[in-house]
Chain A
Amino acid sequence: MSKLNYFFGVITLSTLCFSCGGANIGESLETKTPEQQAKEKMNAGDYQGAVDLLEPLAESEPEVYSRLPLLAAAYLAVAGIDLISMLKNQLSAGSGSSVFAQVGSFLPSGYNRSDVDTVKTGVDRLKRIPENLRGSEGDPEYGESALFQLILYEAVYSSMLVNLFIDIDINGDIDLSKLEEITIEDVRNILSSLESAQNNAEGSSATSEAIGETLNEIEATEGADDREKLINYVGSS
């Protein structure tokens, strides 16, 4: 009987030791969808990995819209946009004025043109989702998230682009010579992106009004064309 007890002990201890290993033994047996793999990568901080995984699928299966909000979020994360940091800044914020100022306070420091283009790519991926599938009346799984991200990312894109041309001198004033480098095409992109965000935010009156107010203020600013108006508006802020 002692041999039997020994056998019992070995089997139970083996199971115990094996089970103390930690990971799920079935994880390797599971076939994860690309979206699940991408989500895992993103939560592990590998944002580029998520983009590399989803972007080819977005190209090869353009009719599968459900993965586009996740892909857009991955692009924004690659550009250094962190919604949770944005939330923290938002809650710590005081009073403010324009959309550029509000969003500007959330932006990462030291971003470059390439990061702005990455955000634009994220916006473009969201725009591939048909309008009727976005929002609360759209797809029940991703519709609301898609619209939320689209409004936010369009505002983020505009603000990032504007902020590329803003340098603060040692007196705390805006360096106007840097602002003069902004091209008419950049201005068009900034304004059209804001207008699009305003239109998409029609269901949220506070958001739509806030963006509309900034657009109206730019329009009311003196200047021969949109470029001059934007430069004067930003310069006077």
Chain B
Amino acid sequence: MVVKPGKIWFFLLCLSLAALSNNMYAAKSNQSIYEDPYDIAAGGASLTRASQEGVLFANPALMPFGNKFFRWFGSQFSIIAAKDSVDFVRSLASGSNTSSSESSSEEEKSAERDEFIDDIFTTPIHFGTATAISFISSHFGVGVVSRFEPDIKGTRFNDTGIPAVRAQADGYGAGVVSYAQKLTRWFSVGATGKYIYKAEPDIQIDFADQSKIDEIRSDPQALVNEVTPGQGFGLDAGALIFLQGRTVDYRLALKADDLGNTKFTKSQDPFRQTFHAGLGLTFHNSIDSLHLSLDFRDVTGAYEESIVMRSYAGAKLILRNYIGIAAGFYQGYPSYGIRLDLVLVKVGLTYYGREMGSFIGDDRRDIYIAYFGFGI
């Protein structure tokens, strides 16, 4: 038989395959919509100790415990990229796009197409940015944050056995106001009111739809157009027991996020009410400290995630008040980082592992965050 394929019924059959829903972890679950990169380096365990604007989201009850009335006023910018996506981000920055280059012969075009398809299924694209501006005192805090973090990856066999390309993004903008008060020398409470602008696109692109994949890869921001963003108001409340000693401190934190569920306009899924508990132990002298912490989030299992996905643990070592080294386990995956707190400038690097699949070990990303802050 002379093999002359071509009537593209198979292609059309592929295109007729609609999006399949799967329970994946990328959209907001027990995690906060914004986490300080240094807190992420310490395994994301921030209920008992958080950095800068991270306090407003991690636990506002942390604010009254500190030596200064003014704790932080400034901004921070983060660039986020998965290890595999560095080359891709570089090509975006330089304005080049490997998939759009012109080729003369059919063979070259075919080879390029094959390379493009292989690339989709082997190299995830995960990158983004986060920006925060905040003012935090010992009782009051206000902040504005935004984060956009798209993720595009093909899977040879999805949950039902067929190839799929999944494009999703964490897209949030938020304005928050926090207030906290010590009720006793060792006990504080705090609350954060928040306005959130939320876009969590999560689409499954047919693996045969090369033009769509190319479009999304060339301009991941276009992913937001796949959903209608929603807006909503929410409230978090936290409490902290802080037993301070001469060289050792003990901390116990309890927090409720999204009290009564944070509902959004435009039919976006609500953020579910969750309860968290954290333990902290700090060894310190006058200028150095080591903080060990363990958070267990979503105690009641509102998001129906596994115990590992709700667990965060880590250590933060602060040397001479300006060098920070952190390491931990973020949802079981290793994390580490370093931060320098200079007079007006803060810079740092964080690495952490993140699960993007439907179970632990399914689809891991190794993510790096470089950040730069300016403030006092």
- Which A residues contact B (CB, under 8 angstroms)? 1, 4-5, 7-9, 11-12, 15-16, 18-22, 24-27, 29-30, 32-33, 35-36, 39-40, 42-43, 69-74, 77, 83-84, 86-97, 99-106, 136, 140-142, 144-146, 148-149, 151-152, 162-163, 166, 174, 201, 203-204, 206-207, 209-211, 234, 237
- B325: contacting residue among A16, A86, A145, A166, CB under 8 A: A16
Is A21 within 8 A of B334, CB to CB? yes
In the bound complex, residues from chain A placing their C-beta under 8 Å from that of B21 are 140-141
- A145: contacting residue among B162, B285, B308, B333, CB under 8 A: B162
A33–B21 Cα gap in the complex (Å)? 18
A101–B4 Cα gap in the complex (Å)? 6
In the bound complex, residues from chain A placing their C-beta under 8 Å from that of B93 are none
Asked if A102 meets B1 with Cβ closer than 8 Å, knowing A16-B336, A88-B113, the reply is no
Asked if A95 meets B4 with Cβ closer than 8 Å, knowing A12-B290, A24-B353, A142-B160, the reply is yes
Q: Count chain B residues whose beta carbon lies closer than 8 angstroms to a beta carbon of A.
A: 69
Is B159 within 8 A of A42, CB to CB? no
In the bound complex, residues from chain B placing their C-beta under 8 Å from that of A7 are 283
A40–B158 Cα gap in the complex (Å)? 10
In the bound complex, residues from chain A placing their C-beta under 8 Å from that of B364 are 24
Is B20 within 8 A of A237, CB to CB? no
Asked if A201 meets B13 with Cβ closer than 8 Å, knowing A92-B113, A149-B161, the reply is yes
Q: Dominant SS at the A interface?
A: helix
In the bound complex, residues from chain A placing their C-beta under 8 Å from that of B329 are 19, 25-26
Is B308 within 8 A of A174, CB to CB? no
Q: List 11 A-B contacts (CB under 8 A).
A: A4-B247, A12-B327, A16-B336, A19-B328, A24-B331, A25-B332, A95-B6, A96-B5, A201-B13, A206-B9, A206-B12
Is B17 within 8 A of A145, CB to CB? yes
Is A27 within 8 A of B360, CB to CB? yes
Closest to B10 in A: A90
A19–B14 Cα gap in the complex (Å)? 42
Closest to A20 in B: B334
Chain A: minimal CB distance from B45 (Å)? 12
Chain B: minimal CB distance from A105 (Å)? 4
